Amino acid sequence: MKKFFKQIIWISLISFYLLQIEKVQAIVPYYYLPTIKNLQKQGSYIGKNAYQLIYFGQYKDSLNLAKLAIKINPKDEKLWLILAEAQIANKKYKSAINSLNKAEKINSKISEIYFAKSNVYLKISQQKKAKSALEKGIKIEPNNHKAIFQLGNILLMEKDYLGAIKLFDKSIKIKPDFWQAINNKGLAYFEKNNINLSIKFFESAISIENNAEPLLGLASCLRINNTKLAIELAKKALAKDPKYVNYDYRKEQLWGEKLQASTEILLENQELTKDVIIAKSKIIQSS
């Protein structure tokens, strides 16, 4: 009988003890500890969202998300690239260069790093560094027609017209319908006083893309020998893109001094007075 009571007491004590454990487990929270792979996935997901926000014009939000992505996974060079893009969008150029340098330390064989660096250096008027960065990127990706074109543009800024033309030719060989490179050959040849070739390339660019830039460029070429057509083309150009009425805007598009002078004379023609006034008013309204 005593043994029986002892057994009951022991069973009761064990049951009570187990019950207390269950109660303790019920009030202690369960923590999920993510694996490194899961963290990396989260970082990549946040980084992609940050990249998308740039294109929606939500620059501050994209920057905050990109910073968060980097905190989660600082060893991902792609996330550093995204952060740099967000910093560029927010005009934080020095920070963008630092981010791109960190991306380069992780993986120096990604051409986009050098192309992005070149873009930043151009924005802060450091052409030599921009040129050097582009050359490094092109060594990694030799058939990138846009990068070759951009390198040609730097030579155009340096007034190395023959060098620029060679690079534009190289870009066009890779992408024959790349009208921007064809157009810029027209810009270069005008500065070399070869108006006939300039006309040829502006016309070729227009045949691919009826854009305001080659239209106005061609008009400036024709203003002496075919004034009527020149005025017609200028009217079309200003209607398509009023910004080309502005000297500084054309300069940003790498128009040389000789073409600028010819264009200014053309735009002073009385038959274009109304078109020039309308173009300027549209610029004011949009600003």
pLDDT digits (tens, 9 = 90+) for 116-154: 999 999 999 999 999 999 999 999 999 999 999 999 999
Domain locations along the chain: 177-282
pLDDT of residue 43: 76
Confidence of residue 287 (pLDDT cuts 50, 70, 90): confident
The larger pLDDT score, comparing residue 14 to residue 7, is at 7
At residue 34, the pLDDT reads: 58
In tens, the pLDDT along 39-82 reads 666 778 798 898 899 989 999 999 999 999 999 999 999 999 99
Superfamily of segment(s) 177-282: Tetratricopeptide repeat domain (1.25.40.10)
Output the pLDDT for position 10: 43
Distance CA 22, CA 31 (A): 17
Q: Residue 51 belongs to what H/E stretch?
A: helix 36-55
Q: What's the Cα-to-Cα distance from 155 to each of 15, 109, 191, rounded to whole Å?
A: 86, 25, 13
Report yes or no: 125 and 89 within 8 Å, Cβ to Cβ: no
Q: Is the pLDDT reported for residue 5 higher than 60?
A: no
The torsion angle over the Cα atoms of residues 107, 113, 118 and 120, rounded to 10 degrees, is -110
Show the tokens assigned to 175. Answer: 């992408």
State pTM to two decimals. Answer: 0.83
Non-local CB neighbours of 19 within 8 Å, separated by 6+ positions: none
pLDDT at position 218 over 60: yes
pLDDT digits 0-9 by tens, 149-200: 999 999 999 999 999 999 999 999 999 999 999 999 999 999 999 999 999 9
Spatial CB neighbours of 159, under 8 Å, sequence gap ≥ 6: 191, 256
pLDDT of residue 51: 86
Token pair for residue 69?
A: 């992505």
Q: Which of 18-32, 58-72, 86-100 has the lowest mean pLDDT?
A: 18-32
Q: In the predicted model, what is the mean pLDDT of residues 101-129?
A: 97
Q: Answer yes or no: is pLDDT of 19 > 50.
A: no
